[in-house]
Amino acid sequence: MPDDSRKRRRTPDGLRLARRDLPTGVAYELVHPRCARRRREDLEEVEAMLDAGEEEIAREELVWLLSECPDFLDAHVHLGLIALGEGDLRLARGHFGRGCELVFRVLDAAGEARPLPHALPGNRPFFEAAKGLVHCLVRGGRKTLARDTVTRVVALDPADPLAIARLLDEPPGDRKTTW
């Protein structure tokens, strides 16, 4: 009979939280899946494509990246921004919302894991997704859901460095980004 102690333990390759001891106190940072960390160069290539105006190719690459790594927050943010730039509010909201949903699940599972400061590099894609989501919700006339999202996000980083709460003052209607 084989020795089970030799079997490798597989750890899930999903988004998770890490506790950080900062000079200002304890904070939490998102640790992105290994599959996302391995694809940083691919994301840099996508950003170069976008800078060169090659949105269609960049979109295809981002969709492929998500097929390989569904918890890749940066890919969701980039796809949301592309969709928003094209006026596809529904698709943009879907990508930004998925990014937020992934993080909210991790936070809910961890209990009272906060603050989650924007200043920590691992947290920045989440705040970009949250900003995009709130923008889409406001523009789509879903102000109550936008307000609920803002409340939850600002509780994680009360400094609100991306001014997400100010997006609640935007008028509904314009489907393109203004930030």
Query: What are the pLDDT digits (tens) for 36-57?
Result: 999 999 999 999 999 999 999 9
Q: What is the arithmetic mean of pLDDT over 164-171?
A: 93
Q: What is the pLDDT of residue 2?
A: 45
| pLDDT tens track for 141-155 | 999 999 999 999 999
CATH numeric code, 16-169: 1.25.40.10
Q: What is the pLDDT of residue 6?
A: 40
Those residues with Cβ within 8 angstroms of residue 143's Cβ, 6 or more apart along the chain or in another chain: 137, 168, 172
How many Cβ atoms sit within 10 Å of the Cβ of residue 118?
Answer: 20
Q: What is the arithmetic mean of pLDDT over 75-102?
A: 96
